Structure 1
């Protein structure tokens, strides 16, 4: 089995040899790398997630990374929810850093299984498919571009299969074993799309309900992701 965490990083644009430091510090180097070889950075998100979603996420995720952005946003939203703060988007967020190592949202290697990292990728692809714009022709176009990214045959086959099969909410929900993981599944999905159609909004509402997330917690995730997209 391929390394799903690396796929998630490549998927979101943070996979860069020799990169280190805070997520925000990678931004300038990643933007330069994107210009030199876009298919190995955040442009992959633009290809996989389509037009509207890809343009937003592909450019923003270059600055904030892969697994850490999902966990970091989820951690921030969950912390605000637990502290009773109002769920209101702000003009910008402080520099986003990975969650504390001792947090249930930790992205340390021993804290995140390969299976759950795969679930986060599945959640993002499912959200991207929610409006029904990825038909057979679009899948073929996407896979032509994915092949150029150098992900490897096994990862390519995984992406192709996920794009082709129906959304399986039962499996997605079952993959989240803790409340924190359920928060991350929803955060990954919300980060992927802007719910400005009834179909997309309906999908996110259904996902939140199936995950059993309280409305107030969902509001905090929505506000945190919206603020991140403004500031990135």
Structure 2
């Protein structure tokens, strides 16, 4: 059954705008790279074309997943114990080629003891992948000291925190708050990044909200980033 309330209708429109914004960039990159390859009469750029196309497909999968959550009241999430470290490891594998294309180094910070969390594995990985793609694209414009993104997990008093971090200080509480005040527009939590990156962050947030959490500015050691607080499984909280 499809929801008809105004809030869900607005969210579906925002998701559609997010799709257009985020998919437009990789398609333009594919077209331009292919054109340059024809001019140069070379196949040297085929790896770049393949990487960009794969990114567009994965992002579209995330948006379709988010749209189902927004529009279908009977779309039931399979909530189960999930290893955050495993999800971030798989996310890193998906992001590696795109990070290399942008000259961004990825680092995994997933060592340690972390309780499984109650989540939908597909949803959590879709959200982290969408967030990762957005910040890979955004990082060169954020005045970061190094072009390095950290996929990290840590424990907090509120639960297990999973997120993407860098040394760029623009990932602030105020920026996220101002972005969420926008009505009828893609929520743009980082004013200094492109609309397509903002769209990726918006979609990640929408998916996480369907799992009763959300993106928020968090710190990981001395790094700044966006993450989600996830609830540990009740059984292991009692141990």
TM-score range, shorter chain: under 0.3
Q: Which has the higher helix share?
A: 1
The normalised TM-score by structure 2 is 0.26
The normalised TM-score by structure 1 is 0.27
Say which structure, 1 or 2, has more relative contact order (CA 8 Å, 6+ apart). Answer: 1
Q: Which has the higher strand share?
A: 2
